[in-house]
Amino acid sequence: MESLRNKPIGVFDSGVGGLTVVRAMMEILPSESFVYLGDTANLPYGEKSAEMVRQYAFHNARFLQEFDIKVMVVACNTASSVALSDLQQAFDFPVIGVIEPAAKEAVKVSPNHRIGVIGTKRTIRTQMYTHKIHEIEPTATVIGKACPLFVPLIEEGFLHHEATTLIAQEYLSPLRGKIDSLILGCTHYPLIRDTIQSVLPEVVLVDSAYSTARELRQLLLEKGWLSDALVPSRLFYATDITEHLNSLARMILPEVPSLVFEEVRLASTPVV
């Protein structure tokens, strides 16, 4: 499939947080071209109904489809929890989400199969991580915990702030002694990884962004679709260019100083 290998990978998220997945992809798959879409106009997905998130996911996917992508990555944990199988059925390119790769890795690194999952309210409510972990290891104990204040704190740039440490203690201390690994089931959480680890020092943290990038590499290898482009192209779109979008983006991807988002308005055709 020579013609496919240098086509871009489409990546979408509810906002800029999904750049943590792009960061992992750039490290693990440096020759790949991609088109990134952050649906900043509709952030946060984690507080929305499942149906609304599904609609947004389809609008994002249709936008990315226009770029003749070879694969689509749903970088958003919330959208992956709610809409992945519908997207996989609706499009003829492979669609991968962040849930299954992280679930697999958590089972692998968790000696006693006592796994914690943190994410948005919607992600935890769907129990998709729990289902995926149980498909792989039915005896695993899974404890889900919604951490809704993390996203606004991180969006505010409070990465090393005592408020974030306090909130992390409030959310995570009850998990002490109960889990041996913890899935960072939200695009934003890798940015406060150190704070999370300081509250749960004995626990192995699983970064869904890196698990997904490795799974994507495996898929591209199997299909013979690994890019050999010397200068891969990277395009960044957002549905609303807000004041702090560029600064948050630079915080996540400081190695791409030229990173500029272009604004795009998505058609709001109803999804059937």
Beta bridge partners of 11: 36, 73
CB 110 within 8 Å of CB 43 = no
Does 186 participate in binding ligand DGL (rule CB under 6 A)?
yes
Point out the catalytic residue in the list 76, 79, 168, 209.
76
- Nearer to ligand DGL by Cβ, of 59 and 188: the residue is 188
> C-beta of 16: minimal distance to ligand DGL in Å?
9
Among 17, 38, 97, 144, binds ligand DGL (CB under 6 A): 17
The reply on whether position 187 binds ligand DGL by CB under 6 A is yes
Assess contact for 105 and 136: CB atoms under 8 A.
Answer: no
Residue 43 touches ligand DGL, criterion: CB under 6 A:
yes
* Secondary structure class of 241 (helix, strand, coil): coil
Amino acid of residue 235: L
- Measured from the CB atom, is 180 or 253 closer to ligand DGL? 253
186 is catalytic: yes
Cα(4)–Cα(227) distance, integer angstroms: 9
Catalytic residue among 9, 26, 118, 186: 186
Residue among 183 and 186 whose Cβ is closer to ligand DGL: 186
Residues 6+ apart with CB under 8 A from 212: 21, 24, 73, 75, 96, 97, 98, 101, 102
Residue 40 touching ligand DGL (CB under 6 A): no
Q: Is 123 in the site for ligand DGL (CB under 6 A)?
A: yes
According to the binding rule CB under 6 A, does residue 181 interact with ligand DGL? no
Distance CA 252, CA 12 (A): 16
Footprint on residues 51-110 left by ligand DGL (CB under 6 A): 76-78
Cα–Cα dist 145/25, whole Å? 27
Stretch that binds ligand DGL, among 1-9, 10-18, 29-37, 256-264 (CB under 6 A): 10-18
Confirm whether 76 is a catalytic residue.
yes
Q: Closest approach of Cβ 126 to ligand DGL, in Å?
A: 11
Distance CA 243, CA 253 (A): 17
Dihedral over Cα of 27, 32, 33, 38: its sign = negative
Interaction of residue 151 with ligand DGL, rule CB under 6 A: yes
Q: How many helices (H) and strands (E) does the chain have?
A: 12, 10
Pair 179, 115: CB distance under 8 Å: yes
Give the DSSP letter of residue 186. S
Q: Does 190 bind ligand DGL (CB under 6 A)?
A: no
Residue 12 · residue 41 · CB < 8 Å: no
Shortest reach from residue 4's CB to ligand DGL, in Å: 28
Among the listed ranges 25-33, 185-193, 217-225, 254-262, the one in contact with ligand DGL (CB under 6 A) is 185-193
Cβ nearer to ligand DGL, comparing 11 with 137: 11
**How far apart are CB 20 and ligand DGL at their closest, in Å?**
9
Q: Catalytic residue positions? A: 76, 186
Summarize as ranges the residues that interact with ligand DGL (CB under 6 A): 13-15, 17, 43-46, 76-78, 119-120, 123, 151, 186-188
